[in-house]
Structure 1
Amino acid sequence: MSLSTLLFCLLVAAVVAFFIGFWRAKRLSPDNPRALHSRPGYHGGYLALATALPAILVLMIWSAVEPRFIQAEVESNLPAQVLEGSQGQIGLAMGVVRSVATGLERLSPAEVAAAKANPREAQRLFGSKGVVIASPPDAAIIASAEELNSIKSLSEIAKTAVAAFLAIFGFIFAFRKLSPNLRARNRVEQVIIAGLMAASSVAILTTAGIVLSVLFESVEFFSHVSIIDFLTGTVWDPRFAGAGDTSGDGQFGLVPLLWGTLYISFVALLVAVPIGLLAAIYMAEYAHPNVRSAVKPALEMLAGIPTIVYGFFAVVTVGPFINFVGSEAGLAIQPTSVLTAGIVMGIMIIPFVSSLSDDIITAIPRALREGSYGLGATQSETIKRVVLPAALPGIVGAILLAASRAIGETMIVVLAAGIAANLTLNPAESVTTITVKIVSQLTGDLEFNSPQTLVAFALGFTLFILTLGLNVYALYIVRKYREQYE
């Protein structure tokens, strides 16, 4: 029985157990419902959780461990010449075994016998069932595929039996515990609290997993390349190596990539901050409610446009337009340049500045404005002298959050700024960013033990530290300088 079918059966059993527990609680004290410690619904919930929760937890753990166990068991029985090869060759062989196993599952017993007798006939039969393999499978591959299917079948049977046993045992155990004095509400709420704690820890565990996975690969990279050379180098020339070449030849200077990232983000902020802040002031202080209800969603729609579309817009419209304007003014501006990428990226992050700043300005108490008007200040003076100073910490936080979004952008830079790692002050020339090089270093059929590939993890870790620092600093500013208005 498949995992989805088992989960569905357990959910159905939990629903049935809930109604049985509810009915049993009603029967425990039919004349005086107040004699029950917990309401009947909690008794039903207690019985449902006892029936389904242990089995579901075991199934989740089983499903996480099962693939690795099965792969290890099948790999151990592969032919010796395959096991003596590299990890890539073993992985390729296991891929063929899985494909053959899928084909065998779709064949009839007679077709299976024919496939085992004739490898070419096996290839033809697999193709007729929608399973394509590059070459006729030999007897060892077919035997491994049969072993794989056999282990999977036994695992499903055992999984079903264990889930059924736990569900039945949990139901009987909990049903015998039902009594007027059972603290069902306490136990159900403890399970709910544990579930909420597990959900709240997902973000922390995910962040920790990302950091550790990137950190370990970065440490491996720095075992090949000096961290000082990486952080201070001004030349980016990784010199891609072929598969199996683990030489450290190449120059992995971070400075031009970091400069391109910060330069494009700075231009984007020059575009987004004035437009976004002025739009926020207009929507919060001047616009009619009907106008605000139309303008604010329209601005926020910019954040929902895919970044690849912004890249197309930069290549097709903004880049040629800037090149034309520059040529008319006697300036040589490349279509793919810092200006092109910065302007389009600035348009993309306008909603981050405008929407957050608008919410912050709107949250300023009305009493402050009325007090300023009472002292004779005009509306513009009130905005400049009262509203903006009060909202400044939140606005600065919004700007820093927009900056972190700009630093992590990839597609716009790929299409609008190019891939050349240049260290230049001229905004009319092409540069590239850290994110672009991460993509380029991980593109292609490369082994993950060469510096040319491992450098992507070092770049990712650098980018993570940079964006994390900006976000932490933004939160620090908001919390430190935020004033509380009664």
Structure 2
Amino acid sequence: MSTDRITETLTRRTENSSRELLARGFFFACAILSIVTTISIALLLINETLRFFSETAWLVNAKGEAYSIIRFYTGKKWIPSRGEFGVLAPLTGTLMVTIEAALISIPLGVATALYLSEYASQRTRSVLKPALEILAGVPTVIYGFFALIYITPALSNFVQLQFFNVLSAGIVVGIMIIPMVASISEDAMSAVPDELRQAGYGMGATKFDVSVGIVVPAALSGIFSSFILALSRAIGETMAVTIAAGSSAQFLNPLNLTAYTLPNMPMTAAIIQSLTGDFTGGGMAYRSAFALGFSLFVITLVMNIVSDLIAEHYREEY
């Protein structure tokens, strides 16, 4: 090999090494930035939550009862203007919306994923899947007005309900998270090896038997992950439920079907009300939003941990 060829090779290797180091440094910085941002948000929530509970330690309600962190998590009234900070009221609103959204999005999302993965042609899939992803990109405020203008009037033909109600909010959130369930579940089903399908067909199984009896169990970890992620999105949804569910929080029984026809403000809507209302910035009502935010943060964190555990338990190695 000539000297020029050796020099050229060494130069190329040096340039490639420099690019690799630059790329590694850039991606490392991005990873550190995301971790620092997450930790900063968590520390802010914890700090403001502790300040809220330190300020409410001396608070006395109309009945002369002293306030405490226990009363915050067991109280059934959420009226910040009166010093009532009972998280169970907005928590039931969040729970009711999440239950409705799950009942709508999980079966429809899995059925859609099963069709796209097993039944749809390549051409049909190339059209429907981008359409689902576009549906996921619609601003949530549009979903809220859609619930008020179309869903509530349509439901009023069958049941008696108020203009702002949990039923419409849950339905629209369920529609909103269908693309997430369908997309992630379809990716999990598409990752199932074709050898498993061919083995099922070789045993005389029908298309439906293979889809339901082989593909779905093999993709169960990804499907469960899509459920948890979608429900986390439903719990954290803000604008759609703020518009459709009303601005009053009350403790309702999620098992009582008539309760869904009433307005009930979820936790995210209560946060918006505390931050954008007529309350003094830095006061107790203002800081109650951070206590609610911290509670939501813990709930979604636990759900993500559960999702990882379930996915790890049902994950198949091929």
> 1:378 aligned to 190, 200, 206, which one?
206
TM-score normalised by the chain length of structure 1: 0.59
* Larger mean Cα displacement after TM superposition, 203-212 or 193-202: 193-202
**1:409 and 2:240 aligned:** no
Q: Are 2:225 and 1:389 equivalent residues in the alignment? A: no
Alignment match, 1:237: 79
SS in 1 for 2:219: helix
On the 8 A contact 1:441/1:452 being kept in 2, the answer is yes
* 1:362 to 2:190 alignment: yes
Structure label with greater radius of gyration = 1
1:255 to 88, 102, 112: 88
- Cα 1:362/1:196, change in 2 over 3 Å: closer
Deviation at 1:480, TM superposition (A): 2.7
Residues 160-189 of structure 1: CA deviation (Å, up to 9, x unaligned):
xxxxxxxxxxxxxxxxxxxxxxxxx76775
Judging changes above 3 Å, is the alpha-carbon distance between structure 1 residues 258 and 445 closer, same or farther for their aligned structure 2 residues? closer
What do the CA deviations read for 1:215-253 (whole angstroms, capped 9, x no partner)?
1111100102221111111111111xxxxxxxxx61100
- 2:76, 2:250 within 8 Å by CA — same for their partners in 1? no
Q: Aligned partners of 1:383 and 1:191: how far apart in 2?
A: 46
Q: Does residue 351 of structure 1 match 2:193?
A: no
Residue 421 of structure 1 aligns to a residue whose secondary structure is: coil
Specify the alignment match of 2:35 in structure 1. 204
Conserved 8 A contact 2:242-2:268: no
Q: Structure 1 residue 228 and structure 2 residue 104: aligned?
A: no
Q: Structure 1 374/186 Cα, relative in aligned 2: closer, same or farther at 3 Å?
A: closer
Q: What is the alpha-carbon distance in structure 2 between the residues aligned to residue 361 and residue 468 of structure 1?
A: 26
Matched-pair identity in %? 41
Q: Which residue of 1 aligns with 2:26?
A: 195
- The amino acid across from 2:53 in the alignment is F
Q: Could you tell me whether the CA contact under 8 Å between 1:233 and 1:254 is conserved in 2?
A: yes
Q: How does 1:85-164 map to 2 (within 5 A)?
A: none
Amino acid in structure 1 at the alignment position of 2:134: M
Q: How does 1:315-354 map to 2 (within 5 A)?
A: 315-326=148-159, 332-354=160-182
Change (3 A) 1:34 1:475: same
Distance change in 2, residues 1:289/1:220 (3 Å):
same
1:324 is paired with a residue whose SS is coil
Q: Does the 8 A contact of 1:322 with 1:335 survive in 2?
A: no
User: CA separation of 1:186/1:237 partners in 2, compared to 1, >3 Å: closer, same or farther?
Assistant: same
Aligned equivalent of 1:12: none
How many equivalent residue pairs? 301
5+ long unaligned stretches in structure 2: 57-67, 254-258
CA distance in 1, matches of 2:222, 2:18: 42
Deviation at 1:323, TM superposition (A): 1.3
Q: Deviations over 1:349-398 (max 9, x none)?
A: 01011111111111111111111111122121222221111111211110
1:39-59: CA deviation from partner (whole Å, max 9, x where unpaired)? 1795xx7xxxxxxxxxxxxxx
Q: Distance in 2 between matches of 1:379 and 1:32?
A: 63
Structure 1 residues not aligned, in runs of 5+: 1-30, 46-184, 240-248, 327-331
Which residue type is aligned with residue 139 of structure 2?
A: P
Secondary structure at 2:297's aligned position in 1?
helix
* Aligned counterpart, 1:432: 265
Q: Which moved more, 1:464-473 or 1:402-411?
A: 464-473
Partner Cα distance (1:296, 1:282) in 2: 11
Q: Which residue of 2 aligns with 1:39?
A: 11
Dislocated runs of 4+, deviation >2 Å: 31-38, 185-196, 444-449
The whole-number CA distance in structure 1 between the counterparts of 2:4 and 2:124 is 60
Normalized against structure 2, the TM-score is what? Answer: 0.88
Instruction: Tell me if structure 2 keeps the 8 A contact 1:419–1:436.
Output: yes
Give the alignment's Cα RMSD to 1 decimal. Answer: 2.2
Q: Distance between the aligned counterparts of 2:23 and 2:10, measured in 1?
A: 16
CA–CA distance in structure 2, aligned partners of residues 251 and 280 of structure 1: 45
Q: How big is each residue's C-alpha offset from its partner over 1:320-349, in whole Å with a ceiling of 9 and x where there is no partner?
A: 1111222xxxxx222321110011111110
The verdict on how the C-alpha distance between 1:35 and 1:279 changes in structure 2, with shifts beyond 3 A counting, is closer
Which structure has the higher relative contact order (CA within 8 Å, separation 6+)?
2
Residue number among 442, 445, 449 corresponding to 2:275 in the alignment: 442
Q: Which residue of 2 aligns with 1:467?
A: 300
List per-residue Cα deviations over 1:246-305 (Å, max 9, x = no partner): xxx611000111111011011011111111111111111112222222222222221011
SS of aligned partner of 2:162: coil
Change (3 A) 1:427 1:445: closer
